[in-house]
Amino acid sequence: MLFSATMAVASETPASFRSSAIRPRPFTLIRLGFGELLSRRRLIRYLVRADLKRAGSDTLLGNIWWVIDPLLQMLVYVVLVSVIFARPQKDYALFVFCAVLPWKWFNSALTDGIASVVGMERLIKQIAFPKLVLPVASVFAGIVNFFFGLIPLAALMVLFYPSHITKWLVLIPVIAAVQLLLTLPLTIVLGAINVFFRDVGNLSRHLLRLWFYVSPSIYAIDLLQHAAAKYPVLGVFIFANPWTTLFTSYRDVIYEGRAPDWMGLGALSLVSLGLLAIAILIFKRLEPTFAKVL
C-alpha cells in the first residue's frame, strides 16, 4: 500500500477513477473544467512552448518574425489607406498598429485553437487527458506573440511618435486581459465543434477577416457609423461587437493618450466570463465523444 500512496503523490491525476454512462450535472462539468485547467498548468505551459518553438523553427529569421510581422502588416495598411485612399488619420501608422497587434493574437489564437483538438487526434485516442488544455494552450501561445509585438510598438513610439507616450500605456495589459477573457470561450467552443464539423476551420478564416473589417480596425469608428446610417444592421453590430470596445480601448491608451472605455471593458469582461462558463460546459459535454469521433 505504501507504493500506491507514493504514486498518488507523484501524479497530478487521481489514482483511481470511476467512469459511467451517467453524465455529471452542468455545474459539476464547469467546475471540473476549471479544475482541469488549473491542475494541468504545466501541460499548458509545455504545449505553449512547443507551439512557439514550432513557429520559429522553419524560417530563416526564426522568432524575429514575431517582431517584424506586425510591422509589415502595419505597412500594408499604411500604403493601402494613405496612398490609395489618400485619407489617413493623423499618425496613421501608430493608429493602425493599435489594431494590428491585438488582432494578430486573436486571429492566431482562434485559427490554431480551432484546429488544436483535431490536430491531437492520435494522442486523444491513446491517452486520457483533459482535452480542454488544447484550445487554451493555443490562446496562451498567442499572448507570447502579443507581448513580442509590444517591442516594435515601443520602438515605433520612441522613434517616431514620442508625443503619444503617456501614462495610459500601462493599461495595455488590462485591456489584453479583457481580450483574453473574450478569446478563451470562442476558441474553446469552436475547437470542440470543429471535431464534428471540419467546416468550422474553413469558414472561420473568412468570418474573421470580415469581422476585422467591420470593426473600427484600420479606420476610425465614425467612418463605420457613417456607413451604418445606410445599413442599420451594421449599426447594431457596431454596438454589439466586442471588438468595437477592444479596438477603441487599445487606441485610447496607445494613440489618444486617454482613459479607456471602462464601462465597455467591464461589461465585456462580465459577458465573457459568462461565456467562458458556457463554453467549458459545451466542451465538457462533447469531450467524451472526441475519442470515438476522431
41 vs 61: CA distance, rounded Å: 30
- CB 214, CB 234: distance < 8 Å: yes
Instruction: Give SS3 for 141.
Output: helix
Residue number with CB closer to other proteins (20 or 163): 20
- CB 67, CB 151: distance < 8 Å: yes
What is the smallest separation between the CB atom of 98 and other proteins, expressed in angstroms? Answer: 32
Binding site for other proteins (CB under 8 A): 3-4, 7-13, 15-21, 40, 42-43, 46-47, 50, 53-54, 57, 122-129, 196-199, 288-289, 291-293
Residue number with CB closer to other proteins (27 or 46): 46
What is the smallest separation between the CB atom of 146 and other proteins, expressed in angstroms? Answer: 21
Quickly count: other Cβ atoms within 10 Å of residue 69's Cβ: 17
Residue number with CB closer to other proteins (94 or 114): 114
* Spatial CB neighbours of 36, under 8 Å, sequence gap ≥ 6: 130, 132, 133
What is the smallest separation between the CB atom of 129 and other proteins, expressed in angstroms? Answer: 5
Residue number with CB closer to other proteins (161 or 196): 196
Q: How long a stretch of residues is the chain?
A: 294
What is the smallest separation between the CB atom of 137 and other proteins, expressed in angstroms? Answer: 11
What is the smallest separation between the CB atom of 34 and other proteins, expressed in angstroms? Answer: 17
Q: C-alpha cell of 80? A: 493601402
Residue number with CB closer to other proteins (151 or 207): 207
Q: Is 257 left (phi over 0), alpha (psi -120 to 50) or beta?
A: left
Tell the residue number behind the cell numbers 462539468, with chain if given: 29
